[in-house]
Amino acid sequence: MALRINRVRAVAANDAGFSDLLAVLPDGAGPCLCCRRHSPDSPALILVADESDDDPRVLCAAVCSMCSTAYPANQLLADWVERLVMRYGGTAVPDHRFERG
Ligand SMILES: [Zn+2]
């Protein structure tokens, strides 16, 4: 079953649950969503997209501290969702996106 992107939120480094998200990010934090740079520091912001509380699958993207201060969270979220929709041809994310290995 595909994951339908239903909710998005931005979790800041001092928000509850941030360290949990950091732990499930693929490849550690990965490159920044905006500038694509690998920062040695942990990201300042993690963008999260999911379907509902019933589905544990989430999509995450890291934003470095420079970009998180340069752009408002709402704009980062909107740009990210637009990118996801373009990549997947809609808000349904196929299953294989969540398979490991
Ligand atoms: Zn950045």
DSSP helix/strand/coil, 49: strand
How much is the pLDDT for 98?
81
Q: Measuring CA to CA, which residue among 93, 43, 100, 94 is closest to residue 68?
A: 43
Ligand 1 centroid to residue 32 C-alpha, Å: 5
pLDDT tens digits for 48-80? Answer: 999 999 998 889 899 999 999 999 999 999 999
Q: 18 in a domain, yes or no?
A: yes
Q: Which two tokens stand for residue 6?
A: 């239903």
Residues 6+ apart with CB under 8 A from 94: 2, 88
Ligand 1 centroid to residue 17 C-alpha, Å: 21
pLDDT tens digits for 47-56? Answer: 999 999 999 8
How much is the pLDDT for 7?
96
Q: 32 in a domain, yes or no?
A: yes
Total domains in the fold of the chain: 1
Q: 94 in a domain, yes or no?
A: no
Q: 44 in a domain, yes or no?
A: yes
Ligand 1 centroid to residue 1 C-alpha, Å: 32
Q: 14 in a domain, yes or no?
A: yes
Residue 45: burial class (beta carbons within 10 Å; 0-12, 13-18, 19+): buried
Q: 95 in a domain, yes or no?
A: no
Ligand 1 centroid to residue 47 C-alpha, Å: 13
pLDDT tens digits for 21-54? Answer: 888 776 556 789 999 988 777 899 999 999 999 9
How much is the pLDDT for 101?
45
How much is the pLDDT for 13?
92
HSE at residue 76, side-chain half, CA atoms within 13 A, is: 28
Residue 1 has pLDDT above 90, yes or no: no
- Residue 71 belongs to what domain range? 3-89
Q: 81 in a domain, yes or no?
A: yes
Ligand 1 centroid to residue 15 C-alpha, Å: 19
